[in-house]
Amino acid sequence: MAEAFLKPETYDEKVSGKIDMLQTHISWVFLTGSHAYKVKKPVNFGFLDFTTLEKRKRFCQLELELNRRLSPEIYLDVLPVTEKKSGIKINGTGNIVEYALKMRQLPQEMLMNRLLDRKAVDEKTIGKIARAIADFHLKAETSKEIASYGSPENILFNWEENFRQTEEFVPEVMPMGDFAFAEKKVKGFIKNNAELFRKRMEEGKIRRIHGDLHSGNIFIVGGKPQIFDCIEFNDRFSCMDVLADVAFLSMDLDYKGDEKLSAFLVKKYGEKSMDNDMQRLLGFYKCYYAWVRGKVTAFRLKERLPADEKGRITETSKKYFRLALDCLKKL
């Protein structure tokens, strides 16, 4: 199926240049020059399930709806992908075999992670991002059901899933002693701070947030941040403490060696949000997302990969887990 999206005739628009393909463990993205088309892979990782056409359609529609909260000008439509003897066609006629999320394509070189590599992100831009996140959190949906995801029991459930899904990659990406230390430390922190987590629930701090807020999901065009690609596939990951979003981006900046920008982000978000629990919980959520990134990176080790690529992936995963452990040791 993916190969068909590399053909210009598949699209409902004129495509004159080369079509580029990007992919993660859960989706393909095809860039035509003017638009990006995202197609979900038919995978099941436990925490997400895209194995049926009906589910992929539903999550495409939810992704469109949720991402329009932050970047309505990017997210355009969900289109059927149809098939006839002549081949597949986006928004064509025939049997519907897939769904594609259509987005406005922005320049890939303006992704924040690439700008960071070029040292082209300054404190002024970080301040704009911090304000955008804080403003988004003030308006983000909350309810009694959403708040329940912030309970100590649900936080522990997420972490136990992390540990189960990581264990098969130990000691390839992490020494067994570090894994045991992390499990004990995390569970102890959750137990010792149960009342704080419940207070956050009562104060409306558990909301439907972005959930995947790292520098690869932010465009900076004309000095304006465009935040995209939030979590839509699992409420456990999209309904979290608002501090989780800023912690994820702060962790990502730390990972890239931009500790000063990371500290500035936290400072500016704190000034805007006036969140008194920030220092008590930020490191915990930074650890959580460093672990998640290490785990998700390690998932690719199950694929058939050239030795050099496997080596790069292993080292990336190790680096995330080392950062997670560093965060834990400071709690």
- 141 and 89 within one domain: no
What is the residue range of 210's domain? Answer: 112-329
**pLDDT for residue 1 is more than 80:** no
Q: Which two tokens stand for residue 63?
A: 């992704």
φ, ψ for residue 111 (rounded to 5)? Answer: -65, 140
Q: What is the pLDDT of residue 139?
A: 96
Reported in sequence order, the residue ranges of the chain that DSSP labels E, i.e. its strands, are 20-23, 27-31, 35-40, 75-84, 87-90, 95-104, 206-208, 218-221, 224-227, 239-241
Q: What is the pTM of this model?
A: 0.93
- 310 and 242 within one domain: yes
- 297 and 193 within one domain: yes
- 310 and 204 within one domain: yes
pLDDT, mean over the chain: 96
- 121 and 52 within one domain: no
Q: What is the pLDDT of residue 53?
A: 98
pLDDT band at 80 (very low <50, low <70, confident <90, very high): very high
- 39 and 155 within one domain: no
Q: Give the β-pairing of 35-40 and 95-104.
A: antiparallel
- 17 and 155 within one domain: no
- 151 and 279 within one domain: yes
pLDDT band at 45 (very low <50, low <70, confident <90, very high): confident
pLDDT band at 207 (very low <50, low <70, confident <90, very high): very high
DSSP assignment, residue 168?
Answer: T
- 185 and 263 within one domain: yes
Around 21, how many Cα atoms within 13 Å sit in the side-chain half-sphere?
A: 13
Torsion sign over Cα 92, 97, 99, 102: negative
pLDDT band at 304 (very low <50, low <70, confident <90, very high): confident
Domain boundary among the residues 74, 105, 136 is at 105
- 133 and 203 within one domain: yes
pLDDT digits (tens, 9 = 90+) for 131-156: 999 999 999 999 999 999 999 999 99
Q: How far is CA 49 from CA 77, 79, 105, 110, 123, in A?
A: 22, 20, 27, 31, 39
**CATH code of the domain containing 200:** 3.90.1200.10
Q: What is the pLDDT of residue 91?
A: 94
Q: Which two tokens stand for residue 74?
A: 């990017």
Q: What is the pLDDT of residue 110?
A: 97
Domain boundary among the residues 73, 105, 137 is at 105
Domain count, the chain: 2
How far apart are the C-alpha atoms of 7 and 204, rounded to whole Å? 48
pLDDT band at 2 (very low <50, low <70, confident <90, very high): confident
Q: What is the pLDDT of residue 79?
A: 98
pLDDT digits (tens, 9 = 90+) for 240-250: 999 999 999 99
pLDDT digits (tens, 9 = 90+) for 215-258: 999 999 999 999 999 999 999 999 999 999 999 999 999 999 99
Lowest mean pLDDT among 115-129, 135-149, 185-199, 298-312: 298-312
- 292 and 182 within one domain: yes
Domain boundary among the residues 51, 77, 105 is at 105
- 180 and 56 within one domain: no
Q: What is the pLDDT of residue 167?
A: 96
DSSP assignment, residue 28?
Answer: E
